[in-house]
Amino acid sequence: MHTLRRSGARVIAVLFPGQGSQTAEMASAVQRARPDLLARCREALGADPFERIGEGTHMAQPAIYCASLAGWSSLSEISVSLMAGHSLGELAALVAAGAISELEGLRLVVLRGRLMHEAGGGGMMAVGAPLPEATKLAERFGLAVANDNAPEQVVLSGDESAIGAACAGAKAAGVRATRLSVSGAFHSPAMASAADALKDALSRATIGEPRIPVLSGVTATPFDDVRARLVESLTSPVRWREIVLELSRRGATRFVEAGPGRVLSGLVRKTIPGADTDAVVLQPAHA
C-alpha cells in the first residue's frame, strides 16, 4: 500500500487526522485495503459514507475514520512510540493503540458524527495569527478558540453572524482570516448537547489502556481518563500545536501521518521547522 522511508533508530509518532483531511482517492483505497471495515461502516450508517461525504459531519467522520485505519494497516513494519489524533482522529489513534476495538470505535465515531451534525448551527473560521492575537479576536466577537493548530494558525467557532463580523474585523486589521466550510461551531460550548449524549454512550463502551501513549487534544498529555477526555474534546479546543511540541519533548524525531491527506504533516512543519514528516499514500483499488 505504501512504503515509508527507513527510519533507523528514530522515535516515531503516528498521527491521525480529523475532518477536512479527505481526499478524492480514499474511498477506493479503503475498498482495496479494508473492505471488511467499509462493509461494517455501510451497515452501521445504512449508506456508503464516501458517496455522501459532502452532506455533513455524520458522513465525513466515519469515512475518515475508515481511511485512517486503512492507512494504519500499512504501518505494521514500523516501531511506533507515540500517537496523537486531531479531533475525531483521537478515536482512530485509540483504536490503533489497542484501547478501543475497531468495531467499538466505529460505533462511537458514527454516533459522534451524528450528534455533532444534529447539534449543528454556527460556523468556524481560520485565523493566520498567534494564539494570543486570535484569542483577543475571539473575545472581541464572542467566539471560542476551537483549534490551536500551529504558531500562526488558529480556528475560532461560534455564531454565523459573529464569524462574519470577525472575518471582516480581522481583514480590516491586516490579519488573514477565512470562513471554513463546516456545518457547526465545533469544539465550542455549542456542542454541549452532543457531549452529553456521547458521555452516555462512552459509559457503556469497553475501553482499556492504550499499549502506546496517545496524547489527548484536551490536555496535550497522554490520555488518563479516556472517556472523560473524549467527552470534553467536543466542547474544548484542540491543542494541536502543544501536542506536536510535547511529542517532540518526549523524544519524537519523526512524524508519520496515517490517515488521508497531509494536513497534519504541514502543521507539524509549521510548528517545528525542518521536522521529519511522512504520510501514508492511500492507493486506489485499481493501483
The set of catalytic residues is 87, 187
Got the DSSP string for the chain?
---PPP-TTPPEEEEE--TT---TTHHHHHHHH-HHHHHHHHHHHTS-TTTTGGG-HHHHHHHHHHHHHHHHTT-TTS-EEEEEESTTHHHHHHHHTTSS-HHHHHHHHHHHHHHHHHH-B-EEEEEES-HHHHHHHHHHHT-EEEEEEETTEEEEEE-HHHHHHHHHHHHHTT-EEEE---SB--SSGGGHHHHHHHHHHHHTS-----SS-EE-TTTSSB-SSHHHHHHHTTTS-B-HHHHHHHHHHTT--EEEE-SSSSHHHHHHHHHSTT--EEE--PPPTT-
Q: Which three cell numbers stand for residue 26?
A: 480514499
